[in-house]
A and B are shown apart, each in its own frame.
Chain A
Amino acid sequence: MPTFGFTHLQFLLQGALWTIALSACALLGGGLMGLIIALCRVSRFSVVSGIAWAYIQVVQGVPLLVIMFVGYFGLPALGVPVSPLMAAALSMTVWVGAYFGEFWRGAIQAVPRSQWEAAECLALTSTQRMFKVIIPQAIRSATPGTVGFMVQIVKNTSLASAVSFIDLTRAGQLINNSTFQPFLTFTVVAIIYFMLCYPLSVLSRRLEKRMARGMRGV
């Protein structure tokens, strides 16, 4: 029985790279989705707003694992073939989109009413208002929380292991099957995750403090 050695560590690090890749996909896809959802939520048309609201409620009320299974088992049953990566990326996009959508909606609505009015009085169209005046300000207040949520994204990619995606967690499981040193293996896995997540946590907290200081001057 091989003991945990350098080759195993390399295998784990490869898995970690895939974790980062999946996180990036989730961030980009979910980010785009979130932006769309947030804009729908603040739209004037109550139908659009309602659909977005329902989307958020459903996705937030269901475990991510279930969404993953829907993507991995459900889509093929409907005739759409998916690889583990595709299923995982799609599921995470849906999931991240809902959380970002809700969070960014809050940030947009937190921009003072006076800003909206000032932009209107400058004869900007509603699209220009949104993208040139409101969103830049919303980004400022939303950044700490968004960075904080990135920690959640990285952690939740571990669920992709349940749909056979070879991320860091799955790599750990595979190694465990050959070395039978589970505690050591998963401790290393945990440490790698920690090294990925902790800097993001610290950054998020620092951004929050800086924002609190900055706001006092406003």
Chain B
Amino acid sequence: MDPVAAAILASWTLSLKAAGLATLVSALYLRGWLRLRAELPHKYTVGRLCAFAGGVVATLLAIASPVDTFSGFLLTAHMVQHMLLLMVGPPLLLLGQPVLPILRGLPRWIFKDALGPFLGCRELQSAGRAIVHPVVSWLALAFTIVVWHLPAAYELGLRSQSWHEVEHACFFLAAVLFWWPVVGVWPGHPVEPRWGMVPYLALADVVNTGLSAVLTFSDPVIYPSYRLAPRLWGISALADQATAGVIMWVPGSIAFLVPAVVLGMRLLEPGGRPAVRCAPALPRRAPRVFRPADLLRTPIFGSILRYRHFRRLAQTVMLSLALAVIADGLFGPQVAPMNLAGVLPWTYWRGLTVIALLLAGNVFCMACPFTLPRDLTRKMASPRYRWPRQLRSKWIAAALLATYLWAYEAFSLWDSPRVTAWIAVGYFLAALAVDSIFKGASFCKYVCPIGQFHFVHAMVSPFEVRVRDGAVCGQCHTHDCIRGSQQQRGCELQLFQPKKLGNFDCTFCLDCVRACPQQNVGILRVQPGLSLLEDRRGSGIGRLNRRSDVAALVLILVFGAFVNAGGMTTPVTMWMHRRHSLTALYLCALLVVPGVLATLCVWISQHWKRPAVTSKELACSFILTLVPLGFSMWLAHFVNHLLSLPGWMPPIELLFLGSGLLLTLYSTWRVACRVAADGRMALAAMCPWAALASGLYAAGVWIVFQPMQMRGMVMS
């Protein structure tokens, strides 16, 4: 092949955005089409599927093929692009009757919960009918074509990529509106009289012909950019313009007139009526039994998780890594980026842990290396004592967590492989000591600060260890999931499965899964953050919304996320260097400021509308709703260190933060609705907390845009 021709054919501009959107829409259509075809095979034919696929391909050809690449050089290429967007893509998409398949292809919660109120709104339905009225549709297309072909507007699109995309969006949307009444898209009322579509199309052709005649016969070049563009193969700008005009004229007229002729012929057939006019009646579906996804029942991953020695293997691997970190930290080079103790724990392990929390759940505790020596020791001697009743709270862990956050900055832990190694050694010894004396998983439940980090943030994870069928548990009298059996111990954290609340205090050890004789415990998909809203007593943890120790832990974690990330930004680092007040700063940022702000929010909530709960319950309930925001900051921060993709990180971090804010605000609203008597009171009660969350979000956005030290990264 001629190298120039090969180069032209290789000049594609398919972006991730366009490819992803096309894939998503196609997948939704296909899913819905398959469902509808099972119910109405004569309506949702293969022809409709092919038409829709053709529309997607035509649209992609317009925006991503060499036609797009050369649209800045040749008006002819640009005209072909516009014809695809106006005359080919939209009518083919609409011939696929896409509305019902796409709606049926959406997950049920989106269709019913998110879109349902909008789809059922009378005003929106009326507005929808109005914009696809033939008069409006015709005017929309005519106006769009004429305005965008004015030299000023066309030049704007040629000079600016953003305006070029706006121009294409206008063409595409106007074409969808125009072809809507011609095709007769379901659901919708048919345009009557049907013959009205013939002048509708013919008049559109008049506009198209007028414009194309101007382009074809104009003597000066209308668009200056094409006069300035380098001429390929010596094609003059004027010849290029005339060719573009002819393309607009002839294929454009065919696109308008052929459907007009077809419609006319159908109407003239004796007793003939055009094809289906009304939305097909869908058969009523039987209510579906909702079965959430279960990780333990996934084909390969589920088998691995169910394997009896899986946890031991995972712990052994992690233990080996921990020993390598200790060895390298103690005896290796004391340069953090060149030492496992500087890289593995502070960059990779933390990043991978938060990603696991986001995608699955508390995976780290499942593979925790610190509890493996304990378990081996317990094979020789069992502990005799129970953890003191006075200490059965999260206060110790919260204090340790605050200390760690301070020490991380004060002693530059990320930069000290030897200190990191000693911390790991200390962790092993502490776990061994506590659990050699006290029964159960006392270290995990009451001491381990890492575990608390995972317990709290696993509440926004999408999977939860829980019972599959509550009715099965209702008939169970052995309660092996908590008591254990001869072969398998029960839950060491005293979480009774039927009464378990979310992932809090759950180490994902899967002891309960193996202990349950009915195999009624799984790792089920849940709504992230739902346990933050529930007002009930959870087994082993009580009512979370009345536990001040948990609230304090959450406050330290949430504010710690912003302080920890902010402490690595250049402005904060320079400020701290000048003041030498790290300890006071951390004391304020982790303890004083959160306490004062939370107290202030409670006071405002209480005195504004007086919800019918105590101040303590109000504070604990609302503080829990900050967990998603705090987690999003940890996620943004750690993933930034883990991935460090230039140009990609700010958007990813902002998306994490924005999602965290939205989930926090949603949770705040739900909690406010629970504690307040009506909507106004709820709004008033949530206001200070929403302001606090928005302030933290703003701080997070500021952090994202600051230069950040990439601590502990491997030297390149």
The judgment on whether A and B are partners is no
**Which residues of A line the B interface, CB within 8 A?**
none
